[in-house]
Copies of this chain bind each other. A is one copy, B any other.
Amino acid sequence: MTSPLAKLLEAALFASARPVTADELTALDDSATSDEVAAAITELREHYDGDGHGVELLEVAGGWQILTRPEYTEAIERAQLAARPHRLSAAALETLAIIAYRQPLGRAEIEEIRGVAVGGVLKSLHDRGLIEVTGRAEGLGRPLLYGTTALFLEQFALRHLEELPRADELAIALRTVAPAGSVT
């Protein structure tokens, strides 16, 4: 691309979270006329189309937007999933473990054990369907109580919670842990 204006438009379109109107694009450069902006838009669009790019400039509801070409969408989504197996973070695992063994219990109690705020972790465990609100505690503020779900049991191939090793059995269990499927 040759025109400085087209480069500026590219940067602006790239940085914006939403489509950008021609008026907004014109506002980027005080000295640019709307005709010049229109020409720069055409230049950018033709550059993407003619010079072998993975993105294109499209006019969508309300303005212009750089979008990835649809033929790459599938490969990108597949790679994103492959690259990110949905593993739980250490923080999530520890929170889940506390809930599994102490349920029903409230957030404050979990935070006391883990020593950090767990609001975000609770939300993500809840979104994944591994924990649920089982009731409210008595007392100040009547805090929500959390417990594990049926999906939690399924995830670990457990028939019921009592199949989890007791704390005093853990030392042994940890040494002989078998893959999830074979634990009974």
A residues contacting B by CB (< 8 A) are 1-2, 6-12, 14-17, 20, 23-24, 27-29, 51-55, 66, 68-69, 72, 75-76, 78-83, 91, 115-117, 123, 126, 133, 144
A39 to chain B, nearest CB (A): 15
Number of copies of chain A assembled together: 2
Chain B residues near A29: list those with CB within 8 A.
75
Q: Within the assembled complex, what's the spacing in Å between the Cα atoms of A35 and B83? A: 19
**A69-B11 contact, Cβ under 8 Å, with A1-B51, A1-B53, A53-B1:** yes
Interface CB pairs A-B, < 8 A, 21: A2-B52, A6-B54, A8-B72, A11-B54, A11-B72, A11-B76, A12-B68, A12-B75, A12-B76, A12-B81, A15-B68, A15-B82, A16-B81, A23-B83, A24-B81, A27-B79, A27-B83, A28-B78, A29-B75, A51-B51, A117-B123
Q: Within the assembled complex, what's the spacing in Å between the Cα atoms of A35 and B76? A: 20
